[in-house]
Amino acid sequence: MGNARWLSEEEGRVWHHFVQAYHLLERQIEQQLQRDAGLSHAQYNVLVVLSGQPGNRMRMTELARRVVVSKSSLTYQIGKLEKTGLVRREPHESDERGILAVLTDEGRELLRSTAPGHVETVRAYLIDLFSPEQLAQLGSFMRVVHEKADD
């Protein structure tokens, strides 16, 4: 650790604000989704990703990659969503070892009814705080972070 490039005072402030903003935004989103739909943010993301797929279905391994969770964490979340009838698992039609997660009609309906409140929360705590130019910059900055972290 002796060779670490320590953060300057300004860099430390930026990091602190980023971490705090992320956690506080995540708290607001979790509260809204729990209140409106009884879902966690991770579960909502699973429903959103499945809703954008042909046939509302996706291989579990690819779904885990898309929602940025481990396979075991996804298995846990899918199990909870299955118990409430929002998702079901099916064997892959051409790969006997593959499992598909499938969004049910109930899952689609819950997503449809929950999405407006979710968008309002995202707007109130992030999007509407910035001018179009600032938002474009933020998007550009976050794309850089996303690509580096996804290496």
Q: What is the DSSP letter of 69?
A: -
Whether 36 is in a domain gets the answer yes
Please give the distance of CA 32 from its chain centroid, rounded to a whole number: 14
Average pLDDT rounded to a whole number, residues 28-42: 96
Whether 8 is in a domain gets the answer no
Cα gap 147→26, rounded to integer Å: 21
Q: Structure tokens of 142?
A: 């976050």
pLDDT the model gives residue 42:
94
Cα gap 58→106, rounded to integer Å: 17
pLDDT the model gives residue 1:
54
Q: Which of 8-17, 89-98, 103-112 has the lowest mean pLDDT?
A: 89-98
Whether 1 is in a domain gets the answer no
Whether 68 is in a domain gets the answer yes
Q: How many residues does the chain have?
A: 151
H/E element, 15: helix 9-37
User: What is the per-residue pLDDT across 41-91, written as a single tens digit (0 to 9) for each?
Assistant: 999 999 999 999 999 999 999 999 999 888 899 999 999 999 999 999 999
> What's the predicted TM-score (pTM) here?
0.90
Which residues does residue 57 pair with via DSSP β-bridges, in sequence order? 102
pLDDT the model gives residue 97:
79
Whether 33 is in a domain gets the answer yes
pLDDT the model gives residue 150:
87
Cβ–Cβ under 8 Å, residues 63 and 72 = no
Whether 82 is in a domain gets the answer yes
Cα gap 21→131, rounded to integer Å: 18
Cα gap 95→59, rounded to integer Å: 10
Would you report the helix, strand and coil content of the chain in percent, each value rounded to 5? 70, 10, 20
| Residue range of the domain that includes 40 | 13-149
Domain count, the chain: 1
pLDDT the model gives residue 3:
86
Whether 45 is in a domain gets the answer yes
Question: Per-residue confidence at 114, pLDDT binned at 50, 70, 90?
Answer: very high
CATH number at 109 reads: 1.10.10.10
